[in-house]
Chain A
Amino acid sequence: MSKPDMKINIAGIELKNPVMTASGTFGSGKEYGEYIDLNKLGAIVVKGVSDTPWKGNDSPRIAETYGGMLNSIGLQNPGVETFIKEDLPFLEQYDTKVIVNIVGRTIEEYCEVAERLGDTNIDMVELNISCPNVKEGGVAFGTDPFMVEEVTKAVKKVAKQPLIVKLSPNVTDIVSIAKAAVNGGADALSLINTLLGMVIDIDRREPVLANIVGGLSGPAIKPVAVRMVYEVAKAVDVPIIGMGGIMDGEDAVEFILAGATGVAVGMANFINPTATIDVLSGIEDYMIKYGFNSIEEIRKGLVISDF
C-alpha cells in the first residue's frame, strides 16, 4: 500500500506534512535535533523573538498540575539579531519550513521584529498576541478584537512573509478575535496558546510560580483547544494550526477533524523527545486505517449528526 499524501498548504507555502512544533517548546531546534531528524517535520516554529533581549520572569517558572503544566517564562529570549546570527543558520541546513514567533510590548516593537525578519529566508511569521506571562503587549493585544485587528494590520503591512496570528484562549468569544485577526490580514491562525492558571503550595501557603499566575498547557487543555479550533474553523476561511495537549497521532487527528490544517506539538516534547515524529506516524497510521488520501480529506471528515 502506498504512503498517504500528508502535504498541506498554508498561505501558498507547502509543508511536507502537518506536524509542527509549538513555539517555546522546541527552542530553535538544536536540542531536539539530537533526538530526531528535523527534516521530517512539516515546520519548526521557534520560540518567541523580540526586538531586544528579554530577561523573562523570576523563578520558579514551572509548576506541574494534573495532566499538564503551568509556565511563566515571560518570553525570555536573546532578541532578533542574536536569533538571526546564531539560530537561523542552524535551521537553514534542514529541509523543513521555519516559522518565527514574534513578540513585542508595543505595535512598533512587533513591526520592528517582523521587518528585520523580512530580510531573512524564514518561511512565515507567527504573531504572538497571546502570551499570558508578560505585563505589556502579549495577551493585552490578544483579548480585544479592536487591538487584534490593529496589530495584525500593522505587522501585515511590514511583513514580507505570510503572517500567522496566534490566538489566546483567555477570551469570552474566540470567534470574534479570530475574525478580527483575519480582517487585519492574517493569512492563517494558530490556536491555542496557554490558558491562564494558578497553583498554590498549601504547605507554604504561597503560589508555586514566582509570577503567581502562569499559562496552562498539556493534555489538560486539549478539549478546550479542540472546541476553539472547531468554532473558529466554521467562522473563517484561512487555514488553522491547532495545538493544545497533543501527545500522539490520535490527538492530532482530533484537531484536524475539528478543522485544523496543521498541528503543533508543545509540552509533549518535554515528556518524549521524539513526540513530533510519533505524532506524525500516528496520523499516517490513522490515514491508512481509514483510507484517507489527504489531510484535507480528514479535515472535511467530521460527522455531525442531527439527533
Chain B
Amino acid sequence: MKKLYYPTIIEQKQIAQGIFSMKLQCDEIAGTALPGQFINLYCKEHELLLPRPISICETDKQKGTVMLVYAVVGRGTESFSRLQKGDMIKVLGPLGNGFKIEKGVNIHMLVGGGIGVPPLVELSKHLKGEVYAFLGFAHNPILVGKLKNYGAKILVATEDGNVGFKGNVIELLDKKDIKGDMIYSCGPKPMLKAVSEWAKGRGIRAQVSMEERMACGIGVCMGCTRKIKKKGEKDWQNRKVCTDGPVFWSEEVIWDE
C-alpha cells in the first residue's frame, strides 16, 4: 500500500534571495522517483490544510535522499523555510508523470525559468548525448553549478543582465539558435507558451511541465486541470496536471485562455 511519509530534514539552506533548498532522508521516494515528478509537502500549521506541490530537484538513490528547491511565495512555503535540520515533514509522493526520455534523441535542450529550473537538474542526469541548459532568471541564477557538474552546457540569461545574456530565455534561444532534438521545459506559463511556439517554429518536439493549483495531488478532486488536446482528438479535454501531467507535450496544450 502507498502511504504518507514523515522524513527528516537533513539539510535546509538559503541558496538565493527567497529561495531555499531542502534535503529529505526518504529512501522510499528517492528509490522510485522519476525526473519531473513532484511531491506534496504538508504544512505544520493546522489552518494551512492543503499540501504544497514541489518538484523533485534531485535524488540520491544510494543515500536515500531527496532534494527540493523552493521559492518562498506565501504562507506555506514561508513555513517550510522555518523548518530546520532534524525536523520532520509530512510528504506524499512521488506524484505525477515525469519527462519522457526517448531513445534516439541526441541533442537535448533544457529550458528553465526561475523556480522552474529544479526538476531539470535530476532530468539532466538521465540524458545521454549533448545537453544544453538554457536558464532564464530575473536577477540571481540558481542551480547553474549543479547542472554544469552533470555535464550540461550552460547558457544563462538574466532580465537585468546581472549574469550572462541580458534578456529573457527566448531571446537567448533565438540568439544561440541551436537545433536540438527535444526540448524539456519548466517555468512560468508565459515562458512555456513562448517556448512552445519557438519549438514549433523550428520543428523541435517539446515537453512542458505545467503548474496548477491542486488539492489531492493524486487525481481525485479534478481541481488541477488544464485544457489539453491529444493527438487525434477533435476537441480539448480538461486534464489533470497532477496525474495526466505535470509534463505534457507542448503541442497538446491549449495556451490561449
Residue ranges of A at the interface with B (Cβ–Cβ < 8 Å)? 24-27, 31-32, 34-36, 47, 55-56, 58-64, 66-69, 71, 73, 76, 208, 218-219, 267, 269-274
User: Does the CB pair A61–B222 fall under 8 Å?
Assistant: yes
> B2 within 8 Å of A by Cβ?
yes
Q: A69-B215, A219-B49, A270-B50 are in contact. Are A34 and B2 (CB under 8 A)?
A: yes
Contacts of B214 in A (CB 8 A): 62
A297 to B208, CA, bound (A): 56
Known A271-B42, A273-B4; contact A27-B238, beta-carbon cutoff 8 A: no
A-B contact pairs, 26 of them (CB 8 A): A24-B221, A25-B220, A27-B219, A32-B218, A32-B220, A35-B3, A55-B238, A61-B225, A62-B223, A62-B224, A67-B46, A67-B47, A69-B49, A69-B50, A69-B215, A71-B215, A73-B222, A219-B49, A269-B220, A270-B50, A270-B51, A270-B215, A271-B42, A271-B49, A273-B3, A274-B4
Contact B213 A273 (CB under 8 A): no
B237 CB–A CB distance under 8 Å: yes
Main secondary structure of the interface of B (DSSP, over half): loop
Given A34-B2, A76-B238, A273-B92: A25 and B221 interface contact (C-beta under 8 Å)? yes
- With A67-B47, A68-B49 already in contact, the answer to whether A31 and B220 are too (CB < 8 A) is yes
B108 contacts partner chain A, Cβ-Cβ < 8 Å: no
What number of residue pairs across chains A and B have CB atoms under 8 A from each other? 95
Residue numbers in A under 8 Å from B1 (CB-CB) = 34-36
Range of interface residues on B (Cβ < 8 Å): 20 to 34
Query: Is B78's beta carbon under 8 Å from chain A?
Result: no
**Chain A contacts for B224, CB-based, 8 A:** 59, 61-62
Q: B72: CB under 8 A from chain A? A: no
A218 touches B220 (CB 8 A): no
CA distance A270 to B216 in the complex (A): 4
Cβ distance A130 to chain B, nearest Cβ, rounded Å: 17
Bound CA span A55–B237, Å: 7
Contact A26–B220 (Cβ < 8 Å):
yes
What residues of B have a CB within 8 angstroms of the CB of A271 in the complex? 42, 49-51
Closest to A77 in B: B222
Q: How far is the CB of B76 from the nearest CB of chain A, in Å?
A: 8
How far apart are the CA atoms of A58 and B218 in the complex, in Å? 19
Which of chain A's residues have a CB closer than 8 A to the CB of B213? 59-63, 208
Contacts of B49 in A (CB 8 A): 64, 67-69, 218-219, 267, 270-271
A274 to B213, CA, bound (A): 22
